[in-house]
């Protein structure tokens, strides 16, 4: 598969990713382990190269990144190791010990990195896949009224596409995203949202599932993998709708579909970053019908067939605002009907 961001083969199908999983972050017998204090500066100014197996312990990789960032002036020699930034491993899943990283398995999120340094980091640190500069905001749509212009993080060097793996009772689901465009959600132990979808979809599965605020498609695709015959996913943010469609293609081996028709590519969608009236981005042919829309979920009922009542997951931004959530739920029930749950 070709990566829509960097144009190389940095993305793989779910089947290929899963084949690497059991051992991907485990050391070989020769791998060395040096645990560093993340809250202290790196006094030694030394790092070990990757092992002959191609992997290196994450702290050692951080030492390498730190030394380059201090040399370039992006960090002070008195800064703690943790000031390098936040690591996101690729592929991401809940791990019970820190990883030994193979090549191209780490995305660095940094507040202070410059473009020149980011390029040097990607050129010299083999584990690094890309560098993203972050800020004090959430990338993508930040308020449910869709009025504000979404802000995004900046890709400084390399490629910021990475995957997370979610365990389902039918087998793991692989979900890709372009990290500078999508808000960061670390997989939580126990994967509560996935468990909630499994529980509501039931066994045998319901016939019709809507993921109204789909993000990159995790819950809608979980329902599809659980065997739901008809799934509709929707998100107002172009990057979410695009990656939902892309992830449909990535996980197609698990689905009863003949074809995935994608109507808009990433560069077309960038021209309408937020839409209200639903636009169909992708759909499948075959025994399972899966449709993806970009639009305001409050208008999604205008494109749905009124005859069937779905099970709807409403994964809203501010679930803690209970009166607002209740109002949305009532409105949805009036326009669409069926059962609604908040995962
Ligand atoms: Zn890429
Ligand atoms: Zn090794």
pLDDT > 90 in the chain, percent = 84
Span 71-90, average pLDDT = 97
- pLDDT at residue 320 greater than cutoff 90: no
pLDDT of residue 291: 98
Asked if the model's pLDDT at residue 23 lies above 90, the reply is: yes
Smallest-distance ligand from the CA of 102: 2
- Which ligand sits closest to the CA of 100? 2
Q: 């990883």: which residue's tokens?
A: 99
> pLDDT value at position 189?
83
What is the number of helices (H) and of strands (E) in the chain? 8, 15
Task: Using the mean position of ligand 2's atoms as its centre, give its distance from the Cα of residue 21 in Å.
Answer: 16
pLDDT, mean of residues 283-312: 94
Kindly indicate the confidence band of residue 183, based on its pLDDT and cuts at 50, 70 and 90: confident
Q: Which token pair is 5?
A: 């961001």
Return the number of other C-beta atoms located less than 10 Å from residue 285's C-beta. 12
Find the 17 Cα to ligand 1 centroid distance in Å: 15
Could you tell me the sign of the dihedral formed by the alpha carbons of 241, 245, 246, 250, in that order?
positive
Of 93-107, 186-200, 220-234, the poorest mean pLDDT is in 186-200
The rounded distance, in Å, linking the Cα atoms of 31 and 28 is: 5
Task: Give the distance (Å) from ligand 2 centre to CA of residue 250.
Answer: 30
Query: DSSP class of residue 61?
Result: H
In the reported structure, the alpha carbon of residue 250 is separated from the centroid of ligand 1 by a whole-number distance in angstroms of: 14
- Gap from CA of 152 to ligand 2 centroid (Å): 37
pLDDT value of residue 308: 81
Distance 257 CA to ligand 1 centre (A): 26
Give the containing element (helix H, strand E) for 42: none
Ligand nearest to the Cα of 11, by number: 1
Distance (angstroms) between ligand 2 centre and the Cα of 187 equals 27
C-alpha of residue 33 to centroid of ligand 2, in Å: 10
Q: Report CA(150)–ligand 1 centroid distance (Å).
A: 23
Cα of 158 vs centre of ligand 1, distance in Å, is 8
| Phi, psi of 269, rounded to the nearest 5 degrees | -70, -30
Q: What is the CA(326)–ligand 1 centre distance, in A?
A: 40
What is the pLDDT, as a whole number, of residue 252? 93
| CA of residue 4 to ligand 1 center, whole Å | 7
Q: Using a pLDDT cut of 70, give the percent of the chain over it.
A: 100
The mean per-residue pLDDT over the stretch 4-26 comes to 93
- In the chain, CATH 3.40.50.150 covers 188-341
pLDDT per residue over 129-180, tens digit each?
999 999 988 888 877 777 777 899 999 999 999 999 999 999 899 999 999 9
pLDDT of amino acid 273 = 93
Ligand nearest the Cα atom of residue 49: 2
Which ligand minimizes its atom distance to the CA of 27?
2
DSSP bridge partners of 126: none
Beta strands in the chain (DSSP E): 56-57, 86-89, 100-101, 106-110, 128-133, 154-158, 161-166, 173-178, 208-211, 230-235, 259-262, 279-285, 289-294, 311-313, 339-341
Centre of ligand 2 to C-alpha 58, Å, is 13
Q: What is the structure's pLDDT at 188?
A: 80
Is the pLDDT confidence value at 59 over 90? yes
More confident residue, 183 or 98: 98
Please give the distance, rounded to the nearest whole angstrom, from the Cα atom of residue 166 to the centre of ligand 1: 21
- pLDDT bracket for residue 185 (50, 70, 90): confident
Residue 107 class from Cβ within 10 Å (0-12 exposed, 13-18 middle, 19+ buried)? buried
Classified by CATH at the fold level, domain 188-341 comes out as Rossmann fold (3.40.50)
206-253 pLDDT per residue, tens: 999 999 999 999 999 999 999 999 999 999 999 999 999 999 999 999
pLDDT for 138: 85
pLDDT level of residue 187 (50, 70, 90 thresholds): confident
Give the whole-angstrom CA distance, residue 329 versus residue 314: 8
pTM over 0.85: yes
Residue 318 has pLDDT above 80, yes or no: no
The pLDDT of residue 307 is above 80? no
What is the pLDDT, as a whole number, of residue 105?
Answer: 97
Per-residue confidence at 335, pLDDT binned at 50, 70, 90?
very high
CA of 337 to the centre of ligand 1 (A): 40
Tell me the average pLDDT of the chain.
94
State the ligand closest to the CA atom of 3.
Answer: 1
Q: How far is the CA of 93 from the centre of ligand 1 (A)?
A: 19
Q: State in Å: Cα 206 to ligand 1 middle.
A: 36
């Amino acid at each position: 598969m070709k990566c829509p961001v960097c144009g190389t083969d940095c993305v793989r199908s779910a089947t290929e990713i899963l084949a690497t999983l059991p051992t991907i972050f485990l050391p070989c017998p020769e791998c060395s382990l040096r645990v560093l204090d993340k809250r202290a500066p790196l006094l030694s100014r030394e790092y070990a190269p990757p092992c002959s197996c191609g992997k290196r312990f994450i702290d050692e990789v951080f030492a390498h990144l730190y030394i380059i960032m201090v040399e370039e002036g992006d960090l002070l020699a008195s800064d703690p190791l943790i000031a390098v930034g936040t690591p996101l491993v690729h592929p991401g899943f809940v791990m019970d010990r820190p990883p030994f990283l193979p090549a191209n398995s780490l995305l660095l999120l940094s507040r202070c990195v410059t473009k020149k340094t980011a390029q040097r980091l990607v050129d010299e640190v083999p584990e690094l896949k890309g560098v993203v500069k972050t800020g004090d905001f959430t990338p993508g749509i930040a308020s449910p009224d869709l009025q504000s212009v979404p802000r995004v993080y900046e890709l400084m060097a390399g490629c910021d596409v990475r995957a997370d793996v979610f365990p389902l009772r039918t087998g793991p689901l692989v979900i890709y995203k372009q990290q500078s465009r999508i808000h960061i959600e670390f997989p939580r132990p126990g994967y509560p949202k996935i468990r909630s979808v499994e529980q509501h979809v039931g066994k045998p599965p319901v016939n019709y599932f809507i993921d109204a605020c789909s993000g990159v498609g995790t819950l809608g695709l979980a329902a599809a993998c659980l065997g739901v015959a008809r799934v509709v996913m929707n998100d107002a943010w172009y990057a979410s709708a695009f990656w939902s469609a892309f992830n449909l293609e990535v996980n197609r081996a698990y689905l009863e579909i003949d074809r995935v028709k994608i109507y808009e590519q990433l560069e077309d969608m960038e021209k309408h970053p937020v839409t209200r009236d639903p636009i169909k981005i992708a759909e499948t042919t075959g025994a399972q019908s899966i449709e993806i829309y970009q639009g305001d979920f409050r208008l999604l009922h205008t494109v749905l067939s009124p005859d069937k009542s779905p099970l709807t997951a409403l994964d809203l931004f501010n679930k803690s605002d209970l009166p607002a959530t209740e109002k949305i739920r009532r409105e949805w029930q009036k326009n669409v009907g069926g059962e609604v749950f908040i995962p």
